[in-house]
Structure formats: C-alpha cells, structure tokens
A and B are shown apart, each in its own frame.
Chain A
Amino acid sequence: MNFVVPDFYPAAAEIFVAVMALVIMLASTFARSVARNLAYLLTQATLIAAAFITIFTMEGEVVHTFSNLFISDLLGDVLKLMIYFSTAIALLYGRGYLADRKIDKPEYYLLALLMTLGMMVMVTANHMLPMYIGLEMMSLALYTMVAFDRDSARSTEAAMKYFVLGALASGLLLYGMSMVYGATGTLEFSGVAQALYNQTANQTVLMFGVVFLVAGICFKLGVVPFHMWVPDVYQGAPTAVTLVIATAPKLAAFAMAVRLLIWALFDIAEEWQMMLMLVAAASIVLGNLAAIAQQNIKRMLAYSGISHMGFMLLGLLAGVVEGDRHFALNAYSSAMFYAISYVIMSLASFGMLILLSRAGFEAENIDDFKGLNKRSSWYALMMLFVMFSMAGVPFFIGFFAKLSVLQAVVAAGYFWLAVLAVVMSVIGAFYYLRVVKVMYFDEPVDSSPIHAAPEVRVMLSANGLAIAALGLAPQALMSLCAFALLRSL
C-alpha cells in the first residue's frame, strides 16, 4: 500500500466551510439568545470568505489530490463561486420571509451551509463516491429545509415526497455507479474514461449503468420524466426554500452531469446524448405546456424550470456528432452559460415572490402580481426584466442563453430539435407575458405597500439590472464559461 499524505491546499475552501459549519453548530448551541443573527451572519461571512479562499487557491490548472478522489480545476472553481454567490443571495432574500413566519432558526442557516458543502464536494468530485456523498449531503439538507415549516401540512408533505423520490433516485444512481464499476473496474472518473478508451468495458453492463446514471442526473435537474417532484416541492416548500432549491442545486446538478457524463463517459457521448435528447425534448414540451395551465406562480416557475433545464441539456447533448468532437467546447460552454443564466433569473423571480410576501400573506398566485406597476413601478420593471429574460426576449441574458444552446444544437445538425425548442419557447412566452400583462394592465387586488429590508431592495434591484446588463454585454460571461471549460478539459 503506497499511501501518501494528501495535499490539502486545493481543498482549502471545502475544509474551511466544514470547520465553519461545526463552529456555527457550537456557537448557536451555546449562544442561544443571539443564535439567529449569529448563525445568519456567520453563514454569510463563511460564504464570502470561502469565495476569497477559492479565488486565492485557484491554480489555473488541473490538480488532483486525496488519492484522485478530488479534482481542482477552473470549471469547479467558477461553479463553486457561483454556488456561494447564489446561496448567499438566496439566504439574504429569504431571511425576512423566514423571520415573518418565525421559522428563522439557526439550524436553517447551518443546513444551508451544509448543503453548500455538499455541492462543493459534488463539484470537485473526481470519483463516484465523493460525488455520491456530496449529493446526499446536499439532498438531506434540502429535504430538511423543505420541511422547515413543521406545522404546515403542505410543507411536510412536499418534504416527504421529495425525500422518498430523492431516495429512489439515489438508489438508481448508486445502481448505475455499481454497474459502471462492474463494467470498468473503477469508480474514478479518469479511470472509467481510460477503460472506455481501451474498450475493455463490458458494453451491455456499461449501458445499463449509463441509463441509471442518466436517470439519477435527470432527477436532480428535474427533467421529464423525473420531474414529478418539482412542482409539488416548489409549491409546498416555504418560498425562501424554493428559492434555494431552484438555484444553487441546479449548478451542482450541472456539475454532476458534466463530471459523470463528460469527464467519465465522454467516449460514449453519442449514446447518452440520445438519451438526453429524449428527456430534453420532453422537458421543453411538457414544461412549457404545463406552465400555461398554472395559476400558482410557484408551480408555474417550477414548470418553467423544467423547460429551462431541458434547454440546458440541449447544450450538453450537442457536443459530439458522428465522432466529431469539434463542437464539444462550444456546446458545453453554452450549457454552462445557460445554467448560470438560469440561476441568476431564478434568484430574481423567487426573490420577487418573497418581496411581495409578508407576515400572514403568501404571494404565490399570478393574481398577486396584479397591478404591481401601480404599487411599485420599479419592482414591476424588475419583474418585467425577469419575465422577458426567461421568455428569451432580446436583449436580456435569457435570450443569449437560448441563442447559444440553439446555435450549439444547430451546429450539431439537430434542426428538428432546434425548431421544436423555438416553437415551444414561443408558446412558453405566453405565460411569462401573462405575468407582465397582469402587472401593468390589471388593477391591484391588494394595494398594501411593499416593504422589505434595504439590503433586499438593493440586491433585488441589482439582480434585475444584472439580467438586463448581462443581456447587453453577454460576451464576458460566455467567454468565462468557455475559458473555464477549456482550461479544465
């Protein structure tokens, strides 16, 4: 056994977050009277500090450590930064909402931090086991957060559904991993890739495994037909938690898809691409159509999220065409750009719901947006940005996100898929524009003034403006995605 002391340096951010989680756990136990604020502030401080640590330990090249269980590359660093960023904003938006409902316990922030740690482990995993551990760490924290409003029947029901289905999906994923292990004899991604390259793997077993892996990934992304939990959980969870579920975990799921499919299974890309094509097309169709029938805006956004994740998959499935890998970088970076754009838009959309909610009132129906322009024209404008961007109206970030994945799909020659996606997004524009219509053309149902903490106002405005600004200058973020992938592949 040649065992060496691993290099801790690349994992500094992960270790720091883990230590801070313990510190927060102890601190909120012993300082019970100030625990709420203490836990919140420490969590935010931890996320910010982790961002700095990630930036300072960025190597610019691929580093493996912990016996190749852990990989540190630019892709992981960029995704981790986005995860800190979106988690921090989600906590900032959600704090007042939780306080109004008296569920802002210190454990909430602790769970959010543990979820972040789980996602970080997923993003940096170079091996099936840490990938799975990270996934479970994230998921368990999320299950608990969904049930955080313990006295709400809807909330606990949602948590139970999420937990049972999540356990099922974990089972599928584990089963897939074990089959891949059976076929290739290793769980390490680069080892799997090597085995595929040498063509020593048993094809049948391998393919069984890949199907189950894809199923597990699809569950986490929430795409058809593994999407059934999404609307119920989005609607049932407290809005602050929905906000968390709809943002950073999508990035982690994207990372999981990239690591498993591209890092490990790139040599059989054309096989899993076919599967992704099925689920992507189904998601885009079903997500957009079902969203139209919704009156509850959280459900509507859930279905919209399903279709957005379908769009994101368009980028992942356009990498290799008939053995030609030239498109790969472009296609994968478009998917990454899409995932990041979606997270930014999603933050703002659920942030708006939180803004309109207050003690004793949940803003969750489309009707609650009626006449928003009369109540606050500024936030109506921000919501307009978000809706336009999600609908893919030029020139918001969502437009460029859609454009880039469509370009990737067309470059790969799947015209029918591009046409389908465009037609469906035109149909989908209906429900986004309906929100805009009620904001600007209907009379307000309730005219109570909007009040929110100043930091929420500032951040939400910045978030809305960012959607518009990134739409005007999308090149920087696009290049960042392409560069991160280029340096990591």
Chain B
Amino acid sequence: MLENYFPVLMFMLVGLGFGLAPVILGRLLAPYRPDSEKNSPYECGFEAFEDARMKFDVRYYLIAILFILFDLEIAFLFPWATVFQEFIAAGEIAWFVFGSVMVFLAILVIGYIVEWKNGALDWE
C-alpha cells in the first residue's frame, strides 16, 4: 500500500534537490561581494517594501494576461498530443481531431494578430 507512494516521495526529494542545489552551489562556487542593491529582493523593478495600494503600470497586467492566455491555451495541446496517437489508429476520425485543434490554433492566431496590430505588444 504505502510503497505505491514511493514515486511521490522520490518526486518530492528530487524537487527539493533541484531547488536547493543551485542555491548551495552558488554560495560555494560564486564570488561573494554583497552590496545594498544586490541584497534587496528583486521584484520587477519595484520597491519591495512600501504601501501595497500603490499605483503601478497597467501594462504589466496586459503582458500578464496575454501570457496567461497563451500559456493556458498551449496547455490544452498536451493532453491532445497524448491521445492523438489513438485517434490516428482509429482512422478517418484523425482528420477531424487534427482539424479541430487547427481551428483552435487559428483562433489563437487571429487573437495574436489583433493584439499585435493594435499595439498591445509594444511597451511604449
């Protein structure tokens, strides 16, 4: 019963290792010459500690939203890719499955064109 969870334990250990290793290695191998700028936490060009209700540029949202959009849409392609094999085996229906994903991508492309054309990708 419990051994079923062994891969999970392994996964956690590996994950932990991946997280810790760069930090430890960096500390061991890199030169260490701290100054105040280097010690301040990095947060996208903002002051780390100030009023949370400050104003900041709406363009961050735009980028974030566009990123999430495309990120999520791409996420749909992974499950599709895994089952596509089975549909190829099933024969003619494969074209339908392929086509529907192409339509899906076409909609994405149109959205991409529109946002590009409207200047959503220009920072200035």
Contact = CB atoms under 8 A, between A and B. Distances in A.
Task: State if A and B touch, Cβ cutoff 8 Å.
Answer: yes
Interface of A: 1, 3-5, 22, 25-26, 29-30
B93 A22 contact: no
16 contacts: A1-B86, A3-B87, A3-B93, A4-B93, A5-B96, A22-B107, A22-B110, A25-B110, A25-B111, A26-B110, A26-B113, A26-B114, A29-B113, A29-B114, A29-B117, A29-B118
Contacts of A1: 86
| Majority secondary structure of chain B interface residues (helix, strand, loop or mixed) | helix
Contacts of B118: 29
A93 B92 CA distance: 49
Contacts of B44: none
Contacts of A29: 113-114, 117-118
A449 to B, nearest CB: 40
| Majority secondary structure of chain A interface residues (helix, strand, loop or mixed) | helix
Contacts of B96: 5
Interface string B102-122: 000001001101100110000
A3 B117 contact: no
Contacts, number: 20
A215 to B, nearest CB: 28
Interface string B71-87: 00000000000000011
B114 A25 contact: yes
B90 interface: yes
A22 B107 CA distance: 8
Contacts of B86: 1
Contacts of B110: 22, 25-26
A287 to B, nearest CB: 37
A30 B117 contact: yes
6 residue pairs, one from A and one from B, having the closest CB atoms: A29-B117, A5-B96, A29-B114, A22-B110, A25-B114, A29-B118
Nearest to B106: A22
A29 B119 CA distance: 11
Nearest to B95: A5
B90 A3 contact: yes
A282 B120 CA distance: 47
A5 B93 contact: yes
B118 to A, nearest CB: 6
A296 B44 CA distance: 46
